[in-house]
Chains A and B, each alone.
Chain A
Amino acid sequence: MELFGNLGLGFSVALAGTNILYCLVGVILGTLIGVLPGIGPVATIAMLLPATFVLPPVSALIMLAGIYYGAQYGGSTTAILVNLPGEVSSVVTCLDGYQMARQGNAGKALAIAALGSFFAGSVATFLIAAFAPPLAELALKFGPADYFSLMVLGLIAAVVLAHGSLIKAVAMIVLGLLIGLIGTDVNSGVARYTFGMPELIDGVGIGPIAMGVFGFGEIIRNLDAGGTKREIFTRRVTGLMPTWSDVKQATPAIIRGTMLGSFLGILPGGGPVLGSFSAYTLEKKLSKDPSRFGKGAIEGVAAPESANNAAAQTSFIPLLTLGIPSNPVMALMIGAMIIHGIQPGPQIMTANPELFWGMIASMWVGNLLLVVLNLPMIGIWVKLLTVPYRFLYPAILIFCCIGVYSISNAWMDVLLAAGFGFVGYLFGKLDCEAAPLLLGFVLGPMMEENLRRALLLSRGDPAVFVTRPISATLLVLSVALVAIVLAPAVRRKREEAFVEES
């Protein structure tokens, strides 16, 4: 039972004194930013990257991962109590969670969300432990052409899952790829698109882009929406324990949500948002009485909350086995690994087993911490939500600015981030979703490198992408994905799904 031996190693790392402390810090921070609308895990992780320089790599990655899945827990609290999604992935939780709260069942809704998330987190941890090693083994057989096709598949999946127009999402990816190429070309040493600025020779950092587009752009958009009025349940949250019949009703939904979320999280381009949306739709379809949904159905909270947590965790699988990020947070995790001198990819498991298994085990530990901590701390989170936005956003700004400066001690990065803040605001106004851009940005240099190598090996013959079996399979999958999305029936459904729930 190698699996248990590996998990044992993982737990010995995750439970070591300082690591469990950083895990705790991570999940608390994650919950905090999950609760607060207007700041997400992308900006937070980018902000904290420099603060992790002083930590050993394992502790740093455990903490950053904790922020990510902690945010999924926190998001549900805001959704249920305030009817505002703290995170995008909890948009659907608002529908039934808030109704439950209005009917006096806030405690039950919160408890089911937390327990469902814990169950999902545990299953997802096990799935990562079970499926990562064989996948990593497969990944070792990948040549440059295969990697290129895999990235194509990932980017296409990202497009399919984007909310708005398909063609705009494709354009955002291409723009991201191009921005990723800024800086010195590794093969020829030519400085590309630097406009003579020495600061750009190493390329644009992921910090300024993530912070500018996701942090600053979002803040400005919130400001022009005006002081958002919030109706908060300041009444004491009571009756935390769900009754037996609640549990019986929610359990199948939790299991289905977990399965669906885990699967969607593994897909490149997938993640918590898609997981929660699909899980909600599935529950509504399967329900004997769909009209209960939107009026406080407990399944409507249980399924999406389990799904988003499961997906948040399984999205680590492509990162840890292939070195390919499936969403913007994973892109930042790649950045974090590189900063700590770890090359993401299939070799992590053999080169750094204690890091790999420690991180996986820490996810289960973190989920346990979240359940234990979250329910008693709800009072604090509620109080936090009463802080007016005019106090909150300067605080977020100053943390972000210090963070973006410290990544490489460059004041130019702060100015770049401001520039990307404008771009992010513009994207919002033009209905262009930013997540595909960030994915393209991270994959740009990797794609160029693998394309180059693949074509160099084949002496310029593009047939190499269809003659290699792995590459051909991946490309067929990509084409199938595009075909499915463009099929008229699915297309209508997809548009409906996003309209109905956004």
Chain B
Amino acid sequence: MKLAIGNSRDFWSGVMFAAAGSLFTGIAVTYKLGTAARMGPGYFPFYLGLLLTVLGIAIAVVSLKGEGPSGDTFHWAPLFWVLASIALFGVMLKLTGVLFAGMALVIGSSLGSGEFKLREVLWLALGLTVFCAAVFVGGLKLPIPMCPGFEAFEQFRLCRI
């Protein structure tokens, strides 16, 4: 994704701030605004959002004539693999326990490095997951499930930590 408007980094950050500001202000009007002496829940966010919008527009406008650094390329592959595996870990953790979720996270995120070697990654996943399970669940007793919550797994001693 190449961006090419003026100083595009500044331009797009301006757009981002303005959009976020308008969103916050837009929602704030649905709350009670109140007065300065008796502020409602919408008062502070309403004005902050307005301020952010103005700042964003200013940044974008100034950038149009500037000659700063141009936009940088987005690398979608590492972005996708890392974030998707984190999200997957979040969803899996309660359902399948740390052993499976951890393996999925390590293997999935490794796909983003561009130098994926299956054997290496499998060993890494196994080692890291067992280490984390031992230290955090076994040792520090954080309330994280070890194994999937199915009955079939409850016969394993390991799962009853």
Contacts and interface: CB of A to CB of B under 8 A. Distances in A.
Interface of A: 50-51, 54, 165, 167-168, 170-171, 174-175, 177-178, 181, 185, 187-188, 190, 192-193, 216, 219-220, 223-224, 226-227, 389-391, 393-395, 397-399, 401-402, 405-406, 409, 411-415, 417-418, 421-422, 425-426, 429-432, 447-448, 451-452, 455-456, 458-460, 462
B110 A409 contact: no
A448 B36 CA distance: 12
B37 A51 contact: no
8 contacts: A165-B59, A171-B56, A178-B20, A193-B45, A393-B113, A401-B105, A406-B144, A425-B79
B39 to A, nearest CB: 5
A124 B142 CA distance: 36
B27 interface: yes
> How many B residues touch the partner, as a band?
35 or more
Contact of A170 (B55, B62, B98, B128): B55
Interface residues of chain B: helix, strand, loop or mixed (majority): helix
Contacts of B56: 171
Interface in B130-151: 132, 136, 140-144
Contact of B109 (A51, A188, A394, A406): A394
Q: Which 4 pairs of residues, A with B, have the shortest CB-CB distance?
A: A414-B90, A460-B37, A224-B75, A223-B78
Contacts of A414: 86-87, 89-90, 93
Looking at B12, B42, B55, the one whose CB has the most chain A CB atoms below 10 A away is: B55
Given A192-B31, A395-B128, A429-B72, A185 B41 contact: yes
Given A181-B44, A192-B45, A412-B90, 8 more contacts: A178-B52, A216-B82, A220-B75, A223-B114, A394-B128, A398-B128, A429-B72, A459-B37
Contact of A54 (B35, B37, B71, B140): B140
Contacts of B21: 174-175, 178
Given A401-B86, A401-B89, A193 B37 contact: no
Contacts of B13: 168, 171, 430-432
Contacts of B91: 411, 415
B38 A456 contact: yes
B93 A174 contact: no
Interface of B: 9-10, 12-13, 16-17, 20-21, 24, 27-28, 31-32, 35-42, 44-45, 48-49, 51-52, 55-56, 58-59, 62, 69, 71-72, 74-75, 78-79, 82-83, 85-87, 89-91, 93-94, 98, 102, 105-106, 109-110, 112-115, 124-125, 128-129, 132, 136, 140-144
Contacts of A216: 82-83, 86
Given A227-B115, A406-B144, A418-B90, A174 B55 contact: yes
Given A54-B140, A223-B75, A397 B24 contact: no
B146 to A, nearest CB: 12
A223 B129 contact: no
A411 B93 contact: yes
A20 B90 CA distance: 35
Contact of A390 (B41, B115, B125): B115
Nearest to B87: A418
Nearest to B44: A448
Contacts of B114: 223, 226-227
Contact of A397 (B17, B36, B59, B82): B82
B142 A50 contact: yes
A175 B52 CA distance: 7
